[in-house]
C-alpha cells in the first residue's frame, strides 16, 4: 500500500534584519514601507515581477495584522509538469508532461514572511530565501523607492555579531571536528570537485599551511581514527626570551587566525543542516566561544502542508510564534 503524503512538515524558520540608508525614508521601518507599498499595488499583476531563469516572482497575498504577513510565490509561466505512470503491472512506467489548467501555473516554490519593525522572519518552501530580497527589490522600485531597493540588505544579525567579536577580541584557536576536517582534506585533492562555503575556506587555508605534509595529507585514509584539528597561536613561544625581541614574531600567525575565523563565519550558511553544531569552535583571546549553533538563528516548526506548498495561515502563525520567541529572549535587541 502506497504511503500517504504527510500532512505536517518540519520546516526551518529564519531571522533577518532589514538595513538600508534611512536618509531616504526618515524614521519609517521596513514594516511601514512594505505596508504602504502593498496597499499601493492593490492587484497581483502589479506585484508580479520577472525572476531568474524565466521565472516570475509574485506577491501572492499579504495581510496587515499587528505586522505584515507576506506570501511570495515563484513559478515559470506556462511551464508544464511531469507525470509518471503509476500502474504497477507494467514493466516500464511512462513519463509524460501535463499542462497546468487554463489560467493557472504550476508553483515552483514559495516563501512565507512576517515583518515587524525592521525584523523579518521567513520560511522558504521549495526555493531559496534570496527570493524574498528579489521580490522586495522589485516592489520598492515599482513604488518609486529605487534608492531603498538598491541599499536594502537582509542581514544575518548573529553572523555580524560574531564577526565583530572576532575583530575586537582576536582569535586564540580554531577547532574543527572530524567530519568537517575530513571534508576539508578531501577537497584539497585537486581531482575532486571544487568545494564551496566553509569547506572551501578551510581547504584554501589548509593547503597554504601544510598541504605538502604527507603525514597530514594521508590522515583521512586511516581507519578508526578520531580526528580533530586545532589551529592556535602559541603564546609561550612568542614570549620566549629569543622571540620576544622580534616585534614581528607571531604577527602573521595572529592575522591568519583572525582572517580564517572571519571567513569561516562569513561563509557560514545557516540554511545548511549538513554542518553539525560542533562542526567548528572559534575561541577568542578573551575566551569567547563561537560555534555554528550560536550563529544559526533559526527554529524548527511543524507546519501543515498544502499540496507541494504549506498551509498559508498555519505558516504565518508559526512565523509569529518564532518572532515572539526571539523577542522574549532578547535576540531582537542584538
CB atoms within 10 A of CB 299: 19
The domain ranges of the chain are 8-156+297-333, 159-295
Percent of the chain with pLDDT over 70: 74
Q: Which residue carries 528579489 as its cell?
A: 134
The average pLDDT across 285-313 equals: 88
pLDDT tens column, 4-24: 666 999 999 999 999 999 998
Judged against a pLDDT cut of 60, whether residue 291 lies above it is answered with yes
Judged against a pLDDT cut of 60, whether residue 56 lies above it is answered with yes
pLDDT score at 228? 56
pLDDT score at 292? 81
The average pLDDT across 293-313 equals: 89
The average pLDDT across 235-252 equals: 51
Judged against a pLDDT cut of 60, whether residue 246 lies above it is answered with no
Of 197 and 171, which is predicted with more confidence? 171
Judged against a pLDDT cut of 50, whether residue 211 lies above it is answered with no
Torsion, Cα 57 305 300 30, to 10 degrees, reads 30
Judged against a pLDDT cut of 50, whether residue 233 lies above it is answered with yes
pLDDT score at 200? 54
pLDDT tens column, 62-112: 999 999 999 999 999 999 999 998 877 778 888 999 999 999 999 999 999
The average pLDDT across 236-250 equals: 48
DSSP state letters, 123-186: EEESS-THHHHHHHHHHHHHTT-HHHHHH-EEE-HHHHHHHHHHHHH-EEEEEE-HHHHHHHHH
Q: Which helix (H) or strand (E) holds 309?
A: strand 309-310
Residue 278 pLDDT class (50, 70, 90 cuts) = low
Q: Which helix (H) or strand (E) holds 104?
A: none
CA distance 229 to 129: 33
pLDDT score at 225? 39
Q: Which helix (H) or strand (E) holds 310?
A: strand 309-310
pLDDT score at 188? 44
Judged against a pLDDT cut of 70, whether residue 274 lies above it is answered with no
Report which listed range, 33-42, 243-252, 273-282, is most confident: 33-42
Choose among 295, 184, 167, 292: nearest CA to 231: 184
Task: Tell me what the pLDDT averaged over the chain comes to.
Answer: 81
pLDDT score at 224? 37
Question: What's the alpha-carbon Rg for the chain, to the nearest Å?
Answer: 25
pLDDT tens column, 122-181: 999 999 999 999 999 999 999 999 999 999 999 988 887 888 889 999 998 888 765 544
Residue 273 pLDDT class (50, 70, 90 cuts) = low
Amino acid at each position: 500500500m502506497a504511503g500517504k503524503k504527510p500532512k505536517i512538515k518540519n520546516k526551518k524558520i529564519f531571522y533577518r534584519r532589514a538595513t538600508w540608508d534611512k536618509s531616504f525614508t526618515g524614521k519609517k521601518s521596513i514594516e511601514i514601507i512594505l505596508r504602504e507599498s502593498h496597499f499601493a499595488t492593490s492587484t497581483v499583476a502589479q506585484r508580479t515581477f520577472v525572476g531568474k531563469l524565466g521565472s516570475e516572482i509574485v506577491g501572492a497575498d499579504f495581510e496587515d495584522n499587528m505586522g505584515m504577513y507576506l506570501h511570495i510565490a515563484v513559478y515559470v509561466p506556462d511551464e508544464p509538469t511531469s507525470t509518471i505512470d503509476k500502474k504497477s503491472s507494467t514493466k516500464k512506467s511512462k513519463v509524460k508532461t501535463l499542462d497546468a489548467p487554463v489560467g493557472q501555473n504550476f508553483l515552483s516554490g514559495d516563501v512565507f514572511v512576517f515583518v515587524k519593525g525592521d525584523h523579518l522572519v521567513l520560511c522558504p518552501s521549495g526555493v531559496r530565501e534570496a527570493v524574498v530580497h528579489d521580490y522586495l527589490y522589485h516592489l520598492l522600485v515599482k513604488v518609486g523607492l529605487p534608492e531603498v531597493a538598491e541599499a536594502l540588505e537582509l542581514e544575518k544579525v548573529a553572523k555580524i555579531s560574531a564577526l565583530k567579536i572576532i575583530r575586537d577580541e582576536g582569535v586564540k584557536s580554531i577547532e574543527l571536528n572530524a567530519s568537517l576536517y575530513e571534508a576539508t582534506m578531501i577537497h584539497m585533492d585537486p581531482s575532486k570537485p571544487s568545494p564551496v562555503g566553509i569547506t572551501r575556506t578551510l581547504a584554501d587555508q589548509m593547503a597554504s599551511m601544510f598541504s605538502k605534509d604527507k603525514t597530514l595529507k594521508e590522515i583521512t585514509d586511516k581507519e578508526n581514527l578520531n580526528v580533530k584539528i586545532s589551529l592556535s597561536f602559541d603564546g609561550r613561544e612568542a614570549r620566549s626570551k629569543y622571540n620576544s625581541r622580534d616585534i614581528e614574531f607571531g604577527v602573521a600567525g595572529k592575522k591568519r587566525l583572525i582572517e580564517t575565523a572571519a571567513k569561516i563565519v562569513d561563509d557560514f550558511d545557516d540554511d545548511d543542516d549538513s554542518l553539525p553544531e560542533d562542526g567548528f569552535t572559534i575561541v577568542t583571546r578573551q575566551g569567547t566561544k563561537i560555534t555554528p549553533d550560536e550563529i544559526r538563528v533559526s527554529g524548527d516548526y511543524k507546519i501543515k502542508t498544502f499540496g507541494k506548498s504549506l498551509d498559508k495561515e498555519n505558516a504565518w502563525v508559526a512565523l509569529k510564534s518564532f518572532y515572539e520567541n526571539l523577542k522574549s529572549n532578547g535576540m531582537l535587541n542584538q
